[in-house]
Chains A and B, each alone.
Chain A
C-alpha cells in the first residue's frame, strides 16, 4: 500500500511548516522553497502535514481512498 502525497505548488507559499513538523521527515526543503516529497515510504498517514498546511496545498492519499 503506497502513499501518494501531492503538493499544490500554485497555492504553497513555501513556509516550511510541513518539512519541519512531519514526524517521519518525509519532506525535504527549506522555507522559501517548495517542499519535496523525499521519502513517501516513511509516511504513516498521520496527515499532520495536511492539517498544518496554512495554504491547503497538501493532499495525502493512500490506495484505499483512490
Chain B
C-alpha cells in the first residue's frame, strides 16, 4: 500500500471525504492498482470526472486531473484525448453523472470508440446530494425523491454501452476487488472505448433507507447476488433470476476514433496539401 500511496496518491489530501464504509475508496484503490499493473505513466495520464461522490476520486490521484461539470466528464475527456491522443485518458463517474445527465455523452463516446476508459461507480443513488434515486436505482427501492418506492426501471448500462458501440464492457463489484482490478486493467489496455461498471455500496443514504444493513451486509449482498458471466452460461433462466452478471461482458476490436483521424492528418500532410 505504501508504495502505491507514494507513487500514485496525493497523500496530503487523505483521508478522503467519503463516508465510513462507502465503497468508492475500494474502487479508487482498484483503479490505481490497475494503472500500476499496466504501468501507465502518470505524467501521460489524465483522469477526468464529473460531479458527485465518485467524481471526487481524481482529486486524490497524483495525475493530471480534471473535475468537470455534472455529466460532462466524457465530453471533456474526448477533447483531451482527441487533441493529444498520446495521453492515456480515464473517466471516473457515477451512476447519476454517467447514466442520467451524462447519458448522451456516454453513448456517443461509445459510438465513436474513442480510447477512453470509463469507470462507473454504481452505488444506485445520488449520494452527494443526499439520496435521490438515479437511472440505475432498481425498481421498488426507496430514495428521498422516491419515498413511495421507485417506479422507474433502471438501465442495464453495460448493455446500453455495448449497443452504442463500446469495444470493452465489464461489470465488477467492490466485494470481488481482485477481479475488479483485472477488469479495469483490461479496459485500460483496450484500444477503444471501455466501460467498467462497478457495483459499490452507499451505506449512508441508500443502504440505510432501504434497510440493507451495514456496509458489510451490502458487500455480502454483492457476493450473493452476482454470478460470473462464464458460470452463468451453464445456469438456467430460473437460477439466474434476479442475479447480476459480473466479469467481462463484451470485448471486440474496432478502429479507434483518434487513430482514424490521425490517419487523415498524416495522409493530408503527405499529399502536401
Give A residues with C-beta under 8 Å from B.
10-11, 13-17, 20-21, 31, 48, 50-56, 58-60
Contact = CB atoms under 8 A, between A and B. Distances in A.
Contacts, number: 71
Range of interface residues on B (Cβ < 8 Å): 20 to 34
Interface stretch (B9-17, B123-131, B134-142, B148-156): B9-17
9 contacts: A15-B20, A16-B214, A20-B219, A51-B177, A52-B26, A54-B23, A56-B1, A56-B5, A59-B2
Contact of A17 (B5, B9, B30, B215): B215
Given A10-B15, A16-B215, A16-B216, A52 B174 contact: yes
B18 to A, nearest CB: 7
A14 B177 CA distance: 19
Given A56-B1, A58-B1, A51 B21 contact: no
Given A11-B14, A51-B29, A59-B1, A17 B22 contact: no
Interface in B12-48: 14-16, 18-26, 29-30, 33
Contact of A31 (B24, B26, B177, B215): B215
Contacts of B175: 52
Contacts of B24: 54
